[in-house]
Amino acid sequence: MSKKIDIESEIYKSYLGSPYSTVKQSTYFSVYDELFKKFKNKEITFLEVGVLDGGSLFMWRDYLGSEARIIGVDLNPEAKKWKKDGFEIFIGDQSKESFWNETLNSIGKVDVILDDGGHTFEQQIMTAESTLPYINDGGIIVIEDCCTSYMKKFGFKKLSFINYAKKLIDNVNKRYMEFDNQNSEKRIWSVQFFESIVALHVNFSASNLKSERTFNQKEEVVAKDFRYASYPLIIDRLEELSNKRNYRFFRVFLRLLRKTILNIYFLKSYISLKKYLKSKNII
Ligand SMILES: C[S@@+](CC[C@H](N)C(=O)[O-])C[C@H]1O[C@@H](n2cnc3c(N)ncnc32)[C@H](O)[C@@H]1O
């Protein structure tokens, strides 16, 4: 039987122990543990967008330890009242780049941004984009309640936060050497998806590595690559023929023929794959 909450997660204990109200989804606690445990008991800067009743500020302090600098951001000026409890509070609109530039220039670099603010697509995307230049190496931007990407009242779905995150994945993959990597993503190393939570991981040295094929200086590969072995033999035969010297005048024709046959088989596999994924409710 499935459990409602992972009561073993450490953050859940801090959540229950908070003296003020905070509302978190039952599935978030294990995700928080996975993402934030490496920041525990360290001198880190943790910024949460969305203060509301202040309960989560106390939860983060208890979980991360007294060395962590806990900062709250909210548009509601009443949030300032939590300053008396030792939290740093900044009032402003998370969808404004100018607010972030001004605020983060005064705060300095941050290790974690957790966005639990207004959850519109503009607020989520602008928070991610505007805070990215201020994240320490090894830090993360965590956007929660991405379920709003599938709801009408948070913006036009074409530019939902999840669609933006998918675009970031394309840009990460474009770092691969053979693609036109002018638009490749160098700021974010990896993108991680959980239920309704997306984490953008920052690791400058890894994301700026030049993507190229490496060899371990052993004997060359002599085994045949079986990629198309389950396809008709003619596909491999046409490839071999087009590489032979005495067939060089037909090279263009042989390659075109091979490509056409291959595409017919790709179409066949596309149709059966689509049927298969539909039967599993994946698409
Ligand atoms: C979901 S509540 C935060 C809950 C809190 N993090 C917790 O766990 O208890 C959302 C908060 O985001 C704030 N907010 C909404 N729009 C905002 C915006 N554009 N900029 C900054 N804060 C915003 C709201 O005032 C509200 O306090």
The pLDDT value recorded for residue 7 is: 73
3-state helix, strand, coil in the chain (%, to 5): 50, 15, 35
Q: Read off the pLDDT band of 1 (50, 70, 90).
A: low
Backbone angles phi, psi at 14, to 5 degrees: -65, -35
Is ligand 1 within 6 A of the CB of residue 103?
A: no
Cα(194) to centroid of ligand 1, in Å? 21
Cα–Cα dist 121/160, whole Å: 5
Question: Looking at residue 133, what is its pLDDT?
Answer: 97
Closest CA relative to residue 44, chosen from 29, 63, 31: 63
Is the minimum distance from the CB of 74 to ligand 1 under 6 angstroms? Answer: yes
Q: Which residue is closest in CA terms to ligand 1's atom 7?
A: 22
Residue that is written with structure tokens 């998918």 in the block: 166
Residue 107: burial class (beta carbons within 10 Å; 0-12, 13-18, 19+): middle
Residue whose CA lies nearest to ligand 1 atom number 19: 93
> Residue 185 in contact with residue 209, Cβ under 8 Å?
no
Decide if 255 contacts 241 (C-beta within 8 A).
no
Which residues are CB-contacts of 71 (< 8 A; sequence separation ≥ 6)?
Answer: 45, 46, 47, 48, 87, 88, 89, 90, 107, 110
Q: Is 75 in the pocket of ligand 1 (CB under 6 A)?
A: yes
Give residue-wise pLDDT tens across range 215-264: 888 877 688 888 888 888 898 889 888 888 887 778 889 999 999 999 99
Tell me, in angstroms, the distance from the centre of ligand 1 to residue 48's CA: 9
What pLDDT, in 10s, does the model give residues 41-91? 999 999 999 999 999 999 999 999 999 999 999 999 999 999 999 999 999
**pLDDT for 5-40, tens place per residue?**
777 889 999 999 999 999 999 999 999 999 999 999
Contacts of 247 (CB under 8 A, 6+ apart): 241, 254
CA of 61 relative to ligand 1 center, distance in Å:
18
Mean pLDDT calculated for residue range 161-165? 98
- Ligand 1 pocket test, pick from 12, 60, 116 with the greatest ligand atom count within 8 Å of Cβ, gives 116
Model confidence at 99, in pLDDT bands (50, 70, 90)? very high
Q: Which of the listed residues 22, 23, 51, 115 should we mutate to test ligand 1's pocket, taking the one with most ligand atoms within 8 A of CB?
A: 51
Residue ID of nearest Cα to ligand 1 atom 15 = 118
User: What is the 269 CA–ligand 1 centroid distance (Å)?
Assistant: 47
> What's the rounded Cα separation, in Å, for the pair 128 and 162?
12
Whether 145 lines ligand 1, by a CB cut-off of 6 Å, is no
What is the signed CA dihedral for 152, 158, 163, 169, rounded to 10 degrees?
A: 180
Tokens standing for residue 173: 């993959």
pLDDT one-digit tens code per residue, 171-226: 999 999 888 777 789 999 999 999 999 999 999 999 988 899 888 888 776 888 88
Summarised one tens digit per residue, pLDDT across range 136-150 is 999 999 999 999 999
Closest CA to 148 of 161, 159, 138: 161
Ligand 1 neighbour 54 (Cβ under 6 A): no
- Rounded to the nearest angstrom, the distance between the alpha carbon of 73 and the centre of ligand 1 is 8
**What atom of ligand 1 comes closest to residue 21's alpha carbon?**
9
Dist. CA 117–CA 100, nearest whole Å: 14
How many other C-beta atoms are found inside a 10 Å radius of the C-beta of residue 251? 13
Among 63, 42, 38, residue whose Cα is nearest residue 138:
38
Q: Ligand 1 centroid vs 153 CA: distance in angstroms?
A: 16
Q: No. of H helices and E strands in the chain? A: 9, 7
The radius of gyration of the chain's CA atoms, rounded to the nearest angstrom, is: 25
